[in-house]
Amino acid sequence: MGGWQDMTAEVLEDQYSPSRWSSRLDRDTIIQAHITTMAAATQRARASVQTALHVPYGDGDREKLDIYLPPDPSETFPVLVYIHGGYWQCLRGVYLCGHSAGAHLAAMVLSTDWTEYGVVPDIKGAVLVSGVYDLEPILHTYVNDELNMSREVAQRNSPMQCIAPAASVAVACEVLVAVAQQDSPEFRRQSQEYGQALRAAGWSVSILDLAGVDHFDIIERLSEESYILTQVILNMISRA
């Protein structure tokens, strides 16, 4: 009886493609079904037990653990360390999502020349929700009372001022710029102009203007499966 060395390339591919062997679902849907099931289970687990999330175990950005504790963590208990599958490559595409000032920070991640740090982050997509992308107007508001930004600092940290051509950067991913109908005219302007500037620089950009929501419930409603922004994000992830 021959070993794997005697298999044709096609047979060997089949042998090492688990999605082709299930009798429950076809190979085109089973992986997504697995990801969906695991994501739902994760949420249920986080809602039912104590957790310590994103605990670093090393210096790398990905070197973090999510710890799920038993009902009485004061007693001695066994530890199970679960390492997910994916052939060391699947189930680790990174997606960014930021709201308001968080959208600014996510946009700055996209603006960073990561090659200067010797890394190429595997960012598949970014969702920027009701963000601020040009900080200079903030210099003239109450917000700067605490920040005390100078004009130079504001310009240096404005994503709008440091958009690189998509072909020249390490991170060139799909970007969704979302804004609320009831956001202020300035927030709406910034979202539109930033999205258009990214698109002009060759980035893959969608601009989503959401009716019937304000600056706060535009993000609060992400817990609703039928919410359009939830659906758009899920579709972005499923396409990767």
Answer positive or negative: Cα dihedral of 21, 23, 25, 30.
negative
Q: Note if 206 is an active site residue.
A: no
Q: Which of these is catalytic: 111, 130, 183, 191?
A: 183
Count the neighbouring beta carbons within 10 Å of the beta carbon of residue 231: 12
H or E stretch including 180? strand 174-180
Burial class (CB in 10 A: 0-12, 13-18, 19+), 199: middle
The Cα–Cα gap between 175 and 49 comes to: 34
Q: Which of 63, 66, 44 is CA-nearest to residue 54? A: 66
CB atoms within 10 A of CB 105: 15
Catalytic residue among 100, 111, 130, 191: 100
Q: Is 19 an annotated catalytic residue?
A: no
Is 168 one of the catalytic residues?
no
Q: Which of 19, 22, 206, 215 is catalytic?
A: 215
Residues 163, 111 contacting (CB under 8 angstroms)? yes
Structure tokens at 33: 């079904």
Which positions are catalytic?
100, 183, 215
